[in-house]
Amino acid sequence: NSANAQSGKFNKDDLKFVKAAALGGEMEVALGKIAADKATNADVKAFGQKMVDDHGKANDELTKLAQSKGYDLSVDKDKRQKKIDKKTDDLSKKTGSDFDKDYVDDMVKDHEKDVNDFKKQAEKANDEDLKKWCAQTLPTLEEHLKMIKDIQAKMKG
């Protein structure tokens, strides 16, 4: 409802997206750090570092946006961290080209989903500030998706 959009609080759907985006963004940073460190393929290594930088910046923006709506993202931090730890533990066990392939496949899947979700929110979010942030973040996600698909194609090539 428009009253909600004006009052500066996220509605249920917007909040659900914000929580998912926070988890996704933190996951990209955590996995990116591992890739920057462990990847054997130079492109994968560089992509991992880009994830740390770009998603780190987006995470900061999202945290500030949530705070401006009276929502503290650190509340769910432990719950998100558990999910992140599970995923990073699984990935950390892999080595060499297996690591590279799994990380790349995962990033393609993640970014396809992210691009879709952000596109939807950029149009349908109840909160205008959230809409704007999604629209501003989308080109970066689309660039990531293109980059990682190119890397995937090269690795298969």
Q: Which residues contact 104 (CB under 8 A, 6 or more apart)?
A: 44, 47, 148, 151, 152, 155
Task: Tell me which amino acid residue 49 is.
Answer: Q
Examine the pLDDT at 5 and tell me if it is beyond 60.
no
Q: Is the pLDDT of residue 93 over 70?
A: yes
At residue 4 the predicted structure's pLDDT band, cuts being 50, 70 and 90, is very low
The span from the CA of 71 to the CA of 14, in Å, is 12
Please report how the helices 12-38 and 128-156 are oriented relative to each other, as an axis angle in degrees rounded to 10: 30
Tens of pLDDT, residues 25-51:
999 999 999 999 999 999 999 999 999
Residues belonging to the chain: 157
**What pLDDT was estimated at residue 6?**
46
Angle between helices 96-124 and 77-92 (to 10 degrees): 150
Read off the pLDDT band of 157 (50, 70, 90).
confident
